[in-house]
């Protein structure tokens, strides 16, 4: 059984950045890599919530939740939007969410060890992310994915942002999709699966029926 939890110790942090590098270096998204050789790090790491999916003490998956930073690219996803209407629309989305009191976090650097990429295991990992992000108050999310993966995320309950289906990206082999979700709603949608996996047994996690 795998457990998703914050990455805490210095040794875990180093292992995490190596793990990210190893996953991206062997994928068609290697152009997304940043940082020194053998490590994947960037300007968003300093303020992100970093979560590791551990099987006993072995890191088999990870994800980070980004809050917007004060920079030209406030979230990582902006690096692939270029200049023009798409970027402006995404900036408006982030600004409006903040104005409405529902600031968004970006789901970023979602990685799984090769042997953990079955559909069932990937689904368990995503359910763990939904439950954990909700517990840490990161309830509204946006993220990008490759076109071949968009249907999976929609089945999980995430919605494609209008105008962001199949947009061209300068990096990567596939068109991109921008999706968004509210974890409280996703918890309700996936309640039965979450309950079966024990996530709703957590004392701090409450979901309306």
Instruction: Give pLDDT tens digits for 166-196.
Output: 998 877 678 999 999 998 899 888 888 888 8
User: Residue 60: which domain range?
Assistant: 2-201
Whether 42 is in a domain gets the answer: yes
Q: Is residue 206 part of a domain?
A: no
Count of structural domains within the chain = 1
User: Is the residue at 208 inside a domain?
Assistant: no
Mean pLDDT rounded to a whole number for the chain: 89
Q: What is the pLDDT, as a whole number, of residue 205?
A: 42
Position with higher pLDDT, 75 vs 35: 75
Any idea what the CATH number is for the domain that residue 153 is in? 3.40.630.30
Token pair, residue 144, equals 């990008």
Cα within 13 Å of Cα(148), Cβ side: 4
8 Å CB contact between 180 and 161: yes
Burial environment of residue 176 by CB neighbours within 10 A (0 to 12, 13 to 18, 19 or more): buried
Is 209 part of any domain?
Answer: no
Q: What's the DSSP call for residue 202? A: S
Q: What are phi and psi of 82, to 5 degrees?
A: 65, -160
Torsion sign over Cα 170, 175, 181, 183:
negative
**pLDDT at residue number 100:** 94
Q: What digits encode the pLDDT tens for the residues 41-66?
A: 999 999 999 999 999 999 999 999 99
Angle at 196 between CA 114 and CA 154, to 5 degrees: 60
Average pLDDT (11-24) is 94
Residue 208 has pLDDT above 60, yes or no: no
**Diameter over CA atoms, the chain:** 48
pLDDT at site 38: 86
146 within a domain of the structure (yes/no): yes
Residues in the chain: 209
Domain assignment present for residue 158? The answer is yes
């Amino acid at each position: 059984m795998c457990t998703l939890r914050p990455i805490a110790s210095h040794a875990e942090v180093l292992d995490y950045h190596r793990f990210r590098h190893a996953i991206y270096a062997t994928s068609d998204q290697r152009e997304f890599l940043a940082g020194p050789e053998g490590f994947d790090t960037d300007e968003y790491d300093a303020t992100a919530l970093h979560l590791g999916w551990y099987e006993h003490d072995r890191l088999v998956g990870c994800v980070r939740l980004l809050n917007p930073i004060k920079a030209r690219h406030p979230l990582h996803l902006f690096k692939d939007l270029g200049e023009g209407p798409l970027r402006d629309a995404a900036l408006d989305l982030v600004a409006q969410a903040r104005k409405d009191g529902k600031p968004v976090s970006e789901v970023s650097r979602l990685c799984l060890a090769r042997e953990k990429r079955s559909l069932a295991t990937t689904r368990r990992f995503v359910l763990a992310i939904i439950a954990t992000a909700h517990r840490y108050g990161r309830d509204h999310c946006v993220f990008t994915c490759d076109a071949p993966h968009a249907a999976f995320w929609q089945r999980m309950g995430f919605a494609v942002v209008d105008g962001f289906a199949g947009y061209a990206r300068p990096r990567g082999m596939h068109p991109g999709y921008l999706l968004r979700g509210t974890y409280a709603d996703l918890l309700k949608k996936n309640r039965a699966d979450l309950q079966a996996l024990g996530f709703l047994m957590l004392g701090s996690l409450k979901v309306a029926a």
